[in-house]
Structure 1
Amino acid sequence: MIIIPVFSEQKGSIIASNKVSSRIFSVSFSQDSSYFVTAGNRHIKFWDLDASKERRVNSTVPLIGRSGLLGDHKNSVFCGVACGRGLTVNNTYCVTTSGVLCLFNSSRQLEAWVDLKTSVASSLAVGEDFVFCGCADGVIRVFRPSNLQYIGMLPRPHRLGVDLTQSTQHSLLPAGSEPRHPDTLALSFDPRARRLTCVYTDHSVYVWDVRDVRNAGRLYSALYHSSCVWNIQVYPELQDPSHACLPPSSFLTCSSDNTIRLWHSDAPIRQRNLYSQDLLKILYVGEDMQHLQPAGERVEAESPDGKAGIRVLGISPDGKYLAAGDRCGNLRIFDLQFLEELVKIEAHNSEVLCLEFSPASTGMKLLASASRDRLIHVFSLEKNYSLEQTLNDHSASITAVKFTGESPEVRMVSCGADKSIYFQTAEQTADGLVFSRRHHVVEKTTLYDMDLDPTGTRISIACQDRHVRVYNVETGKLEKCLKGSVSDEGALLKVQMDPSGSFFATSCSDKNITIFDSETGECVATLFGHSELVSCMRFSQDCRHLISASGDSCVFVWRLDSRMTGAMRKRRARQASRTAGTCSLRQPNIRRETFISVPSSQLPLMESEEQKEADQRTPGKLDDAPGESECRRRSILYFLF
């Protein structure tokens, strides 16, 4: 049983209601708002609002409805309904899923109907002069409202599998051609501007100028993901921008629709394409995409469990390569300059959950992939992505993997659904590079995500109990525990640090995003708008935006407050100056070790004094505190210079 409530806009309360037993797909109000019509499964019903006016104060009266006389179409499923406008204000137009446009007169009788000559119809929009019907294969047919006389057909949208970099103006193809376009899903008509907005089944949006329906022009279009968006990767900032393969501030997303999309909201005009101002490239991934793409088709490859799509992405620190893991367990490497597939590895038995390239500071070129099969594979980029090591410490799905440290102290941290955190240290052996366990921490809650601070010394982990726990990478000890959600319900799913480490963003199962101060744990912003769980978040490199993706197939770009942007940029500047100061201090140390400007006669005396001082130290301290020993050594060299 379905309840139809009518609300008062002024009072915000229900003034009338009734029940229907049929499923309803569409609703339309008359021009004077005296009645409205509902359409659904074998259902066309006219609800009179004038007869349902308030007769008592603060009470809800029953809606009075009368069914339409369907005639031969009594068993049809009506997916769209629209009341007439202007001279045809007393008419009502309905469309069935089988492709029949129906006209009901003021007596609720089926006066006329016309076959749309399509396999499926989905939507309807009505103006004073036109009736627009959305059909399969991107077809939109136009009729006269008075007698349903056929006028023509609007241009179709892009073809499925379109290459944005080589696309040309679409052509008007005959209705009997092979289906290569997305189906029309929804229509909305603006009578003042005479514009028709169309949404298609691949989640693309077009706005058509229909002042002349026989020569309609496209005013705007945008191509979006058609399924759950799983991951986002922001293109890194390079020291030499001339070596960049992608424009600055660009980012990539991957989805269950088996595509990887390259976005740039401020793309130069020369890089824009015919169909979208912010989408630069669509990369179709799948076994059969190579031969299907020229024909315009797009087929989704499915994993053994019936799930399809690209699950996770990773960009190499030099900005040259893109790694993509799908839900079948495959790992693909692409060249970012041309977005061509270089390597494909059947790495895992289940979907790949995380990918991580080793940063340049480690002095190594590694790629780690982790999966639901509880394994971590480490590949060497210098050996054409050959397998270096497989780690099987975890006993459940691995949710995050991170590289950190500086050569030769290279570390890898991983966490998973088994509530464990493993701290691994790299060692170079005769058989090659080997990661060995250094610390193992077990928590009382499931660990869903992890991110490193800019210094690489601390990790922040999103936990099921809605807290963010911060651990020291070197010691493996818990340093602090911060509240990661303003809600007291649900679980914390994602955590992401900004490039300066000033703030961290979290997403909870309540579908909202919250930004906290990383030092105090104070909530500074709450973002909401996604209709499904937030699957990924990334801060832009310029500290101006936060990018989020969700299971609702949407990618949101949030503009951060200017004060937050200023705080992040100031902290990054301080970090950069501190790093530069450290480098400038190290350079004189190298010179002091190389050049000694003292008489050679004094060298034996100084060496004996240094040896005497070394003999007085505690041997254990030299082993336990190598940093202190290094500091003292540098002070002696400074004295010699």
Structure 2
Amino acid sequence: MPGDGFTFKSRIRNLLRSPSIRHKKNRKESLTSKVTLEKVLGITASGNSGLACDPRSGLVAYPAGCVVVLLNAKKNRQHHIINTSRKTITALSFSPDGKHLVTGESGHLPAVRLWDVAEQRQVSELQRHQYGVSCVAFSPNSKYIVSVGNQHDMMVNVWAWKKDVVVAANKVSSQVTGVSFSEDSSYFVTVGNRHVKFWYLDHCKANKASAPVPLLGRSGLLGDLRNNFFCDVACGRGSASDSTFCITSSGVLCEFNSKRTLDKWVDLRTGVAQSLSLSEDLVFCGCSDGTVRAFSPVDLCFICTLPRPHHLGSDASALREASNLFPTMTDARYPDTIAVTFDPVSQWLSCVYSDHSVYVWDVTDISRVEKVHSALYHAACVGDLEMFPDVRGEFAAGLSSGVFLSCSADNTIRLWRPSDWTHARDHSQNILSKDLLNIIYIDGNTSTLLDPECLTNMNADRPGDGQTAESRTGIRTICVSPDGKHLASGDRSGVLRVHDLSSMEEILKVEAHDAEILCLEYSKPETGLKLLASSSRDRLIHVLNAEDDYSLLQTLDEHSSSITAVRFAADENKVKMISCGADKSIYFRTAHQTDRGTEFRRSHHMVMKTTLYDMGVDPTCHAAVGCQDRSIRIFNISNGKQEKLYKGSLSEDGSVLRVQFDPSGQYVATSSSDKNISIFDFDSGECVATMDGHSEIVTGLKFTNDCRHLISVSGDSCIFVWRLAAELTISMRERLRQLRQNPNTPPCNSSSL
């Protein structure tokens, strides 16, 4: 019918202008405004394409999951750009003026995104790749952006970003690992497996066609190096602007002239080389074993080797002076240098190492290189975190309630105290990181810090149908005793360990389970008992007496599948233990005193229609269980009955994997398999805040004791510290005050739910 198209468009416009659509948009903005990403403890850069430096301000950019961290090394401050598409950032590059940042991502239909650095907002988006972006780069004249797809995509796109159009494109025949523009922006070079190719843009300038034209490429003449893997490239600057420098994984630095011919090369004398960065006067090559070598771009003459970072297995708490960085032992191992980038203004070189550490070196005087910044992060998926309890009085280890601990598949447990929470006069920090207090190496094993198998997706570790996990190293779960003296940890092979936190010494190691330990829980002080419970994929719960050298009190075998959570509670002057698992069951048990000691007996048993992944117990003696059907089920601990059910995720996909109460019980935080974090009002079930940023599932959540922050850890190896809105903090503190004023009358048996 005539006019139907106009009518249809009008309806669409009216729909978009409708109050309901605007309300949903405003509500989403309101939910995300309740939290701010304050600190990122982690990095996920896998090569030079994931590290960049603003040539004007010196800001260093690197990915941490779905977040770009903008690091000001001089002030040790971070700013963050969050990719709300929940796709992992794989590559990034600054514009020549530093005002914009371009990012590439992985996943289905990945986008090349342009961001305003000052405002941390997205400016433009290009979706021309299918399976992933491995490299992005700005042209020096700021007219073009080039993006290269990964090994499954193989597309090279040249984007006139100010017009938001692709002007040229072509395919490559091999995996590309690096890209660099010439100084005059007339061509760029890509490198990869047996691949060095020069792509020319002259014919693009006069192109006025609406569709992209074929991109013109010419292969470099590799000569004797034709069978090498070229892992990075940098086009020359200044007097070396006609040259192109490449580095091979076998450890060869080579130079191509303006005719694309291999002109000269030099052996780096290293096992493996991976990254390359240059200034007008120096070429820096990142190599294995923490080595960075500098050469002259004029004749490739060797200049010097930069200092190495810390050696693997370093005692972070003992490093107080720069001289401690250089060990006396001859068999010390160092992490590989996987990415380097140069700041021409400050003359600083930023390096990323394979153990996920970041160093910034001052190379102003190449004969006297000094460290100006460093940070150490987890090298693999983080399995759990724990807040240090709010212990009254002095504690021998000198730890405070602001400290938190995290464990990882890299076989370490780390103690953190973000620098923003410390006092200016605190001199106890080590020289490696202002956020890291100490590292506990489990069994002294540092090999896993370099093991790529540790970087596997944590989705494979999600509790499932009770099948035994394959043998792997790595710490899965931790728990700190309420008095702050002991740290219990469980690994993926079923070994339970206990460390004394004052000395950091291991005081117990026992093969407690036949499979991965999924949960550890100390009994609360109000129970009057000092117990430790451990649950596992082997369907067993062990109850240990923490007062009697962790002697075994009882083993419970009622579950028929993986036990995902076990919790203690004090209710009606009785000690309760609640457990749930992949068998869709939740068991309520009550402690009884017998001749053999404390014994738990089943009082209630509920079977759900969905898998139960995690559980939290609030001060009002209710248990909140996160379920596979995206819901949170609230149970009364006294009678075992379900009192309420509400949605634990705003999305329509995935499952609720983690549930965590704040100290007051006012709010409950959840993480879902869609990588989203939400905060709900426990009484009403209303969502009050949402967070995105992790690129893998969130494996742990904790509110800080002061109710100001929420901390999340993930399979992407990163720890995020979120600052909560003042209204949320005030609400939690007010409820805490009420609970402390009436400690003997908690609403345990209230029916308000």
**TM value normalised by structure 1:** 0.86
How far apart are 1:154 and its partner, in Å?
A: 0.7
1:157 is aligned to: 309
How far apart are 1:172 and its partner, in Å?
A: 9.0
Gap change, CA 1:31 and 1:138, over 3 Å in 2? same
2:540 to 375, 378, 382: 375
How far apart are 1:243 and its partner, in Å?
A: 6.7
Distance, in Å, in 2 between the alignment partners of 1:54 and 1:384 is: 80
1:107 is aligned to: 259
Q: Is the 8 A contact 1:494 1:508 kept in 2?
A: yes
Q: Secondary structure at the match of 1:500?
A: coil
Distance, in Å, in 2 between the alignment partners of 1:407 and 1:567 is: 27
Gap change, CA 1:153 and 1:376, over 3 Å in 2? same
1:182 is aligned to: 335
Distance, in Å, in 2 between the alignment partners of 1:528 and 1:208 is: 32
Letter in 2 for 1:386: S
Per-residue Cα deviation, 1:147-203 (whole angstroms, up to 9, x for no partner): 1111101110001110122234258979x9645111111111111121111000100
Would you identify which runs of 4 or more consecutive aligned residues in structure 1 move more than 4 Å?
A: 170-174, 176-179, 241-245, 296-304
Q: Is the 8 A contact 1:157 1:170 kept in 2?
A: no
2:163 to 1, 7, 11: 11
Per-residue Cα deviation, 1:114-147 (whole angstroms, up to 9, x for no partner): 0000010010001111100001111100011111
1:474 is aligned to: 638
1:243-392 equivalent positions in 2, closer than 5 A? 245-265=398-418, 266-268=421-423, 269-286=426-443, 289=444, 305-392=470-557
Q: Is the 8 A contact 1:262 1:279 kept in 2?
A: yes
Gap change, CA 1:407 and 1:379, over 3 Å in 2? farther
Distance, in Å, in 1 between the alignment partners of 2:325 and 2:612 is: 53
Per-residue Cα deviation, 1:353-379 (whole angstroms, up to 9, x for no partner): 000000011111110000010000000
Q: Secondary structure at the match of 1:113?
A: strand
Gap change, CA 1:73 and 1:244, over 3 Å in 2? closer
1:40 is aligned to: 192
Work out the percentage of aligned pairs sharing the same amino acid.
53
Gap change, CA 1:345 and 1:122, over 3 Å in 2? same
Gap change, CA 1:173 and 1:225, over 3 Å in 2? closer
Q: Which moved more, 1:480-489 or 1:518-527?
A: 518-527
Distance, in Å, in 2 between the alignment partners of 1:110 and 1:314 is: 58
Distance, in Å, in 2 between the alignment partners of 1:226 and 1:95 is: 25
Distance, in Å, in 2 between the alignment partners of 1:326 and 1:306 is: 10
Distance, in Å, in 1 between the alignment partners of 2:299 and 2:507 is: 59
Q: Secondary structure at the match of 2:367?
A: helix
Distance, in Å, in 1 between the alignment partners of 2:662 and 2:166 is: 46
1:503 to 638, 659, 667: 667
1:129 is aligned to: 281
Letter in 2 for 1:369: S
Q: Which moved more, 1:517-526 or 1:316-325?
A: 517-526
Q: Is the 8 A contact 2:391 2:401 kept in 1?
A: no
Gap change, CA 1:20 and 1:285, over 3 Å in 2? same
Q: Which runs of 5+ in 2 are unaligned?
A: 1-151, 455-467
Q: Is the 8 A contact 1:156 1:170 kept in 2?
A: no
How far apart are 1:35 and its partner, in Å?
A: 1.8
Q: Is the 8 A contact 2:413 2:439 kept in 1?
A: yes
Letter in 2 for 1:373: D
Distance, in Å, in 2 between the alignment partners of 1:409 and 1:172 is: 53
1:227 is aligned to: 380
Aligned length: 576
Distance, in Å, in 2 between the alignment partners of 1:545 and 1:159 is: 33
Higher helix share: 1
2:40 is aligned to: none
Distance, in Å, in 2 between the alignment partners of 1:421 and 1:339 is: 35
Letter in 1 for 2:156: I
Gap change, CA 1:180 and 1:18, over 3 Å in 2? same
Distance, in Å, in 2 between the alignment partners of 1:334 and 1:242 is: 15
Q: Which runs of 5+ in 1 are unaligned?
A: 584-625, 628-641
Q: Secondary structure at the match of 2:156?
A: strand
1:204 is aligned to: 357
Per-residue Cα deviation, 1:542-599 (whole angstroms, up to 9, x for no partner): 111111111111111111112211111111112212227x59xxxxxxxxxxxxxxxx
2:651 is aligned to: 487
1:589-608 equivalent positions in 2, closer than 5 A? none
Q: Is the 8 A contact 1:153 1:214 kept in 2?
A: no
How far apart are 1:30 and its partner, in Å?
A: 2.1
How far apart are 1:442 and its partner, in Å?
A: 0.9
Q: Is the 8 A contact 1:52 1:62 kept in 2?
A: no
Q: Is the 8 A contact 2:245 2:253 kept in 1?
A: yes
Distance, in Å, in 1 between the alignment partners of 2:277 and 2:325 is: 21
1:588 is aligned to: none
Letter in 2 for 1:346: E
Distance, in Å, in 1 between the alignment partners of 2:665 and 2:434 is: 32
CA RMSD after TM alignment: 2.4
Letter in 2 for 1:185: I
Gap change, CA 1:284 and 1:564, over 3 Å in 2? same
1:575 to 723, 739, 748: 739
Return the index of the structure with the highest Cα Rg.
Answer: 1
1:546-625 equivalent positions in 2, closer than 5 A? 546-579=710-743
2:625 is aligned to: 461
Letter in 1 for 2:559: H
Per-residue Cα deviation, 1:452-500 (whole angstroms, up to 9, x for no partner): 1123x11111111111111111111111111111111122211111111
1:426 to 570, 588, 591: 591
Q: Secondary structure at the match of 1:413?
A: strand
Per-residue Cα deviation, 1:4-39 (whole angstroms, up to 9, x for no partner): 222232233433211111111111122233221111
Q: Which moved more, 1:439-448 or 1:523-532?
A: 523-532
2:248 is aligned to: 96
1:601 is aligned to: none
**TM value normalised by structure 2:** 0.73
Gap change, CA 1:534 and 1:298, over 3 Å in 2? closer
1:80 is aligned to: 232
Q: Secondary structure at the match of 2:741?
A: helix
Letter in 2 for 1:272: Q
Distance, in Å, in 2 between the alignment partners of 1:58 and 1:571 is: 62
Letter in 2 for 1:274: I
Gap change, CA 1:451 and 1:297, over 3 Å in 2? closer
Per-residue Cα deviation, 1:207-257 (whole angstroms, up to 9, x for no partner): 011111111110000111101100100001123355775123001110011
1:398 is aligned to: 563
Q: Which moved more, 1:164-173 or 1:123-132?
A: 164-173
Q: Is the 8 A contact 2:519 2:564 kept in 1?
A: yes
Matched, 1:61 2:213: yes
Letter in 1 for 2:643: E
Distance, in Å, in 2 between the alignment partners of 1:358 and 1:273 is: 33
Q: Is the 8 A contact 2:355 2:449 kept in 1?
A: no
Gap change, CA 1:462 and 1:108, over 3 Å in 2? same
Distance, in Å, in 1 between the alignment partners of 2:341 and 2:352 is: 9
Q: Is the 8 A contact 2:311 2:332 kept in 1?
A: no
Q: Is the 8 A contact 2:613 2:626 kept in 1?
A: yes
